[in-house]
Structure 1
Amino acid sequence: MGRVHTLAERTTVEVGPAEVEAALLENYPALVRLAYLVLPSALGRHRRILAAHGVVQRALPDRRRLERELIGEASAFEYIRRRVLRDAVRQARARTPLRMLPQVWGLRLFPRSGAADDLVLDQVMSGCTPEARAAWTLVRIEHLDVTEAEAELRAAGVEQASEAIKEAAELDESAVAGVRGPLGAQVFDPCAVRLAPTDLMRRKARGRAVAIAVTLFLALILLAALALTAGREPTAQAAPVAAQQETKQLSVDALRRTRVLWQDTARVDFTAWPARGSRINDRDLLSKALDAWTNGTGVTSVAGAWTTAPTEAPQLLYAGDVDGAAVVLFHDGQRLARYTDRDGGKVVVARTDDADVTTSAVVAISETARGVRFLTAPWVAETGLRDLKNPDAATGKLQTTDGITAPVKPPAANCSSWPALHLRSSDAIAENHAFLVTHLGGLSPAHLTYLPAPSVGDARAPREATSGAALVSWSRTVCGLRTLQNKGVKAANNWTFAEQRLPDGTYGAWVCTRSDSWAGGGWATVKLFPAGLSGGHATNTAICSRFDQHVLATTAWRSPTGVMYLLAAGSRGVDRLTVGTQTVPGPVVALPGRMTSRVSAHVTTGTTIYPLLK
């Protein structure tokens, strides 16, 4: 096969309606990919693929309008690309995008599996505006320079084109750098898709529900007619009871069970879990568990997760006996619900929206005095146990039977030990992909990551906390996670944002521990190591996340000679500090005394930041 050219590389020809139609047909796959990348991932893979095809298929206006718009147009390719960009951005902004989609009945479409880096990039791009995604696509895929891309956006009707270019430039470089280009990545190719049936059990259940509803409606009409004829009210009371029993029966029948193998989907999260356990066909147990959740009896939530009944039949992940109790695990797309029949039956509900390959890799399935057992995802190939307080110790073995681990003890009361699961994904996910999670209460353990000091290299996204430096860093900070027990922590990251030579000649590392909750809030705590001095903290903040990468912290430090110093350190973007009326170049400073002086930092972007609160 010949090399695939981008649209910008095509030859310019005389532009007329025929040339534009030819340009659309010739470049159809590239145009669909362009629309796919601009459209929001919140549509879901199936709908997003159809939406992208719909945008391109409606890109040609009627012939009269087309002839008017082509006056003065230099390139058929640029014209049709501009039309696709304009409509994709508009549809991405619409509340109910693309009502007139191409319809595919009985099948689901999804891109072929992509590399882990591609999935990370897709997740990063989902947090951008449609205009920024369009700008990124023009620069990265169409290979336009920034000026050309901005002009193209303006021509496509984007008013804030320069802001879109700036936002696209701020896309996480680590997510972008690891991608060989979506033009060659099947996960971003909505023309190379896999087909799978829709949920056959749900289709059957819905068909049965429609048939029952029609039957009941006709029965009620017949009863009403008989009552009018006989001059009395109908006495049949069995129909409502039968209807209630049938509704309950349908609830169990409609439970979703994954039919697609996780290796064949680009969405690797709880939706890819198959139903497992020895009692997945136990209708009585499933009915009890589902009734307990839908009726709200004995339901508790993790960190304020809503406990209302699911609006549709949830997905069954597990049903079996663990530690002498029957356990059922459901997932409704945004929440996990764990039912345990011990003590009369209890349901714990926790948020899991936007889970990924790491945060959906393991679930706390049973908690007893012996410890916590975890159910691992089907893509977890190896499971080990680490003590985060002992970074030099090797990873220990953790026995796993049918995906369920042996009991894991909680952290020691004095924090002399802290267990973490060391997991390794299947090579089908990514080669040598290992990561750490630790249990902080709830159902889904927190994913631990690490970002090294600026001296190590360019700024990157947090990486897995499995290296020696990462383990040493977490051995110093993990005890601080004790205050976040049962607060719905999704992930936690240690970021060494600054290094400083202290007045006694030793070196200190400023570390910001950032913890994110499933609800979207976050906590940030800064300490100076190895002394462990507090540098401040913040709650319900974006500080130390990719949304706020500028931080300033201060602390008081006593030298070996007894002299007190004010230490201050800023992150990579800080170019000067102000202490009182004194301005010092650079991101760090150590001044004797001055404990009450006001400190601020100037960032290269032109903003001023202030220290975290003590």
Structure 2
Amino acid sequence: MWAGRRNQVTITGIARSPSVDQQPTAPRTDLADHSAPPESSEAAPPTPDPTARATSPDPAAGSSGEKPGPGATVVDVPQAEAALVENYPRLARLAYLVLPPRLGRHRRVLTAHAVVQRALPRKPVPLDAPATVPAPRGTAHRLSQPAYSLVRLRVLSAALAEETRAPRLFGRRLPLPPVPTGLPQVWGLRVFPPSGGVDELAVDQALAGLSAPARAAYVLRVLERLDEPGARAVLAAAGVVDPHRALTAADAVSVPGAGDGRTLLESAEFDPCSLQARPTDLMRRRQRLRVAGAAGLALAVGGVALWLTGGGWGADGAAAPPYSRNPAAQAALDPAQLTHAAAGGWRDAERRDFSVWPARGERTSDRALLRRALAVWARPGATAQVSAAPDTPTGPPAGPPRLLFAGVVDRASVVLFADGSRVVRYAEAADGDQGGVALDFARVDGADEAAASALVVNRADGNVRFLTAPWAGDVRRLDLAKPSDDGGRVAVDSRGVTEALRAPGADTTGRSCDSWPALLAGGHVLTDLGELTPARLTYGEPAHPGDATSHAARTIWARTVCHLPAVRSRGVRTVNSWPFAAQRLPATEDWATWVCTRAATWRGDGSRVMAQFQPPLDGEKPYTPGGVAARAEDSPACGPRSPRVLAGVLWQGKGAGKRWYLLAAGSDEVRSIKVSGGVSGHSSSRLLAVPASGGSRAELTGELKGGGGLSALR
């Protein structure tokens, strides 16, 4: 809390604190210039005395409770308070320098004040020997050495303890914001000492590179002017395990142009009592207020809904509140009602699809996880991220679904269901985090053995893992951009989950495509196109395509695969590439290949067709992608219902004249081709090559052998 009065601010918790003998001036926190010389604002450094230290092994915790021995000095609370108040600026500076830099300047300032204010003991503390330390110059009151030594020791111990105060996990500090240390606290402003020059910055960077004990040793040697034995004794009393190592590291600090560093340490750069103030992020503060208001309203509405429904949200995870108590809907959400296929039933099944997949994974008996997954499927809450392939229903199951998998994959708890026409993937954090969950839907109606060979079980960090069918057998990886690459064996665990594989497209950029990973499972070539079901890649005539495993198929696909991003996330079931014609290029001995690639979807419509012109292989880059001659959507071309196609392209020769030609080709059913418009010509075969000019536009038509016409793909 801040109270403003002109250009002066007061931090809650830093106030006037009178001693027993007099009313000393409280530490200043003026916003105005407060850079008086150290002689007028802080106590002179005390005379080193390594024997004057607390007998308690933990000075910051207070007195050990032992009776003082012979010759010991007892420091009572009023003496300690007087020493603390009169040397407050110096003690706050000491704490500020020793505190870890990771706190930031604002938090270091507040923590330094909190550390000094908590250094006041609650009862008298015995010290080994009396000593005398001069009071700050210009004051009549004199402090005794034991009182200052005690307070300094408690401040140093508390500042060192802040280094290990942050939460840790497995020995590593968690990336959490600094925890407030009590009073003082500042709301709506950020405070920090004024910035210094280059030398001050060099000192600050040098101290940031030291450990907390080394920083403490440096401050004791330079700011407090203790000799090595005195500093070692103070460090040992403060709980430092290896004072010698800390002193060695402190002595190695060298700041160019800084001399012994004492003048810089006494500058305003390291003075937590001379502060500047700036506002916090005003826009973020306003947004947080809005979020807090919305959260409060949502909590109130949720409480009313909880009271009205008579149920809780805990068992259903991120699901929304139940809308009704329909018995059929409740039965579909009961983990005990889930159906399971027999472990080896797929071997004797007449039809192999997802209905014969056995339930696999180490958490198939986790009722709580399965209930959360079913509840979110039925009623996705606001924190559930729902995605679905095109035209895939996302409603709840009509009855108890089939469990395919439940287990932990890449720090995520994953559950896979099938309900006949869909597969559903539910994922949540495996560490129990109550954050968002993912819910993915994909259509699988009419799936056969090849289409049910694998499912995507998880994606993370540019990698993908598959859950393979129990009949997949040996699983291998392929690089479709390299026909000669036979890949290697993919490790599959006992649950059927593959090792992490590079996701397709992760290494492709714009105009280059040097790699395209694929999976060979059960003899079928599969690739991830961003959905729950991988797409099967085939090769050959539309009526009877086969798996793209032969050398000819791999060669065609090496020049086609980089066009697959055009059909990513479109519910693609299979992609077939069909080389429908080969054409000799004019005035050369080279041959080009015409390829029709068709991406068929699970839903039936929405298919995409692409005609490619693949020129002769280049020796330097033999598998460059083919040129796209034409594209069409929702066209039957190159499919089993219409296994025919006609396409053309403008091509420029590489000879001395570099002449332009219009090249066209049709499938086997085409008898002749005619071109009109900007280019005219006719061919009595299914291949056409006529001279043209660059940028010409023409109309292609073909005549079929059985009669009728065929327009060019567009």
Which TM bucket (shorter chain)? 0.5 to 0.7
1:276 aligns with 2:276: no
Match of 1:589 among 665, 688, 705: 688
After TM superposition, the score normalised by the length of structure 1 is 0.56
1:350 aligns with 2:442: yes
Paired residue type of 2:497: I
- Does the CA contact (< 8 Å) of 2:673 and 2:703 recur in 1? yes
Give, in angstroms, the shift of residue 347 of structure 1: 0.9
- Closer/same/farther in 2, CA of residues 245 and 567 from structure 1, 3 Å limit: closer
Give, in angstroms, the shift of residue 476 of structure 1: 0.1
- Between the aligned partners of 1:406 and 1:370, the Cα distance in structure 2 is 13
Paired residue type of 1:607: G
The Cα offsets for residues 49-84 of structure 1, whole Å up to 9 and x where unpaired, read as xxxxxxxxxxxxxxxxxxxxxxxxxxxxxxxxxxxx
The Cα offsets for residues 446-497 of structure 1, whole Å up to 9 and x where unpaired, read as 0000017xxxxxx851111000011111110101001222111111011001
Q: When the two structures are aligned, how many residues end up with a matched partner?
A: 361
Match of 2:531 among 438, 442, 467: 442
The Cα offsets for residues 583-611 of structure 1, whole Å up to 9 and x where unpaired, read as 42111110011743322000123121111
Match of 2:577 in 1: 494
Match of 2:672 in 1: 576
- Does the CA contact (< 8 Å) of 1:351 and 1:518 recur in 2? yes
Give, in angstroms, the shift of residue 525 of structure 1: 0.7
- Does the CA contact (< 8 Å) of 1:574 and 1:586 recur in 2? yes
1:375 aligns with 2:459: no
- Does the CA contact (< 8 Å) of 2:332 and 2:398 recur in 1? no
Give, in angstroms, the shift of residue 242 of structure 1: 10
Give, in angstroms, the shift of residue 435 of structure 1: 1.8
- Between the aligned partners of 1:495 and 1:533, the Cα distance in structure 2 is 15
* Matched residue SS, 1:509: strand
Match of 1:537 in 2: 631
Match of 2:351 in 1: 267
After TM superposition, the score normalised by the length of structure 2 is 0.48
* Matched residue SS, 1:470: helix
- Does the CA contact (< 8 Å) of 1:296 and 1:307 recur in 2? no
Give, in angstroms, the shift of residue 436 of structure 1: 0.5
1:513 aligns with 2:611: no
Match of 1:461 among 534, 537, 544: 544
- Does the CA contact (< 8 Å) of 2:474 and 2:489 recur in 1? no
* Matched residue SS, 2:466: strand
- Closer/same/farther in 2, CA of residues 607 and 366 from structure 1, 3 Å limit: same
Unaligned runs of 5+ in 2: 1-309, 312-321, 430-434, 617-625
- Does the CA contact (< 8 Å) of 2:702 and 2:710 recur in 1? yes
Match of 1:319 in 2: 406
1:409 aligns with 2:505: no
- Between the aligned partners of 1:308 and 1:250, the Cα distance in structure 2 is 13
- Does the CA contact (< 8 Å) of 1:574 and 1:602 recur in 2? yes
The Cα offsets for residues 418-467 of structure 1, whole Å up to 9 and x where unpaired, read as 0000123xxxxxxxxx2200000111110000017xxxxxx851111000
- Between the aligned partners of 1:243 and 1:268, the Cα distance in structure 2 is 34
- Closer/same/farther in 2, CA of residues 244 and 494 from structure 1, 3 Å limit: closer
The Cα offsets for residues 242-277 of structure 1, whole Å up to 9 and x where unpaired, read as 997993697222211113711111211101101111
1:336 aligns with 2:336: no
- Closer/same/farther in 2, CA of residues 249 and 438 from structure 1, 3 Å limit: closer
- Does the CA contact (< 8 Å) of 2:670 and 2:686 recur in 1? yes
- Does the CA contact (< 8 Å) of 2:335 and 2:371 recur in 1? yes
- Does the CA contact (< 8 Å) of 1:437 and 1:447 recur in 2? yes
Paired residue type of 2:610: T
- Between the aligned partners of 1:243 and 1:570, the Cα distance in structure 2 is 59
Match of 1:256 among 313, 329, 339: 339
Match of 1:606 in 2: 707
The Cα offsets for residues 347-406 of structure 1, whole Å up to 9 and x where unpaired, read as 111111111111111011011115111100011101010111111122212111121001
- Does the CA contact (< 8 Å) of 2:413 and 2:427 recur in 1? yes
1:366 aligns with 2:451: no
Paired residue type of 1:517: T
- Does the CA contact (< 8 Å) of 1:248 and 1:287 recur in 2? no
Unaligned runs of 5+ in 1: 1-236, 425-433, 453-458
- Closer/same/farther in 2, CA of residues 345 and 506 from structure 1, 3 Å limit: same
- Does the CA contact (< 8 Å) of 2:332 and 2:400 recur in 1? no
- Does the CA contact (< 8 Å) of 1:296 and 1:308 recur in 2? no
- Between the aligned partners of 1:303 and 1:416, the Cα distance in structure 2 is 29
- Between the aligned partners of 1:282 and 1:248, the Cα distance in structure 2 is 17
- Does the CA contact (< 8 Å) of 1:473 and 1:494 recur in 2? yes
Runs of 4+ residues over 4 Å off in structure 1: 240-246
- Between the aligned partners of 2:338 and 2:537, the Cα distance in structure 1 is 33
Match of 1:229 in 2: none
Q: Which has the higher helix share?
A: 1
Give, in angstroms, the shift of residue 533 of structure 1: 2.9
Match of 2:520 among 422, 430, 436: 422
- Does the CA contact (< 8 Å) of 2:333 and 2:374 recur in 1? no
* Matched residue SS, 1:598: strand
- Does the CA contact (< 8 Å) of 1:533 and 1:555 recur in 2? no
* Matched residue SS, 1:381: coil
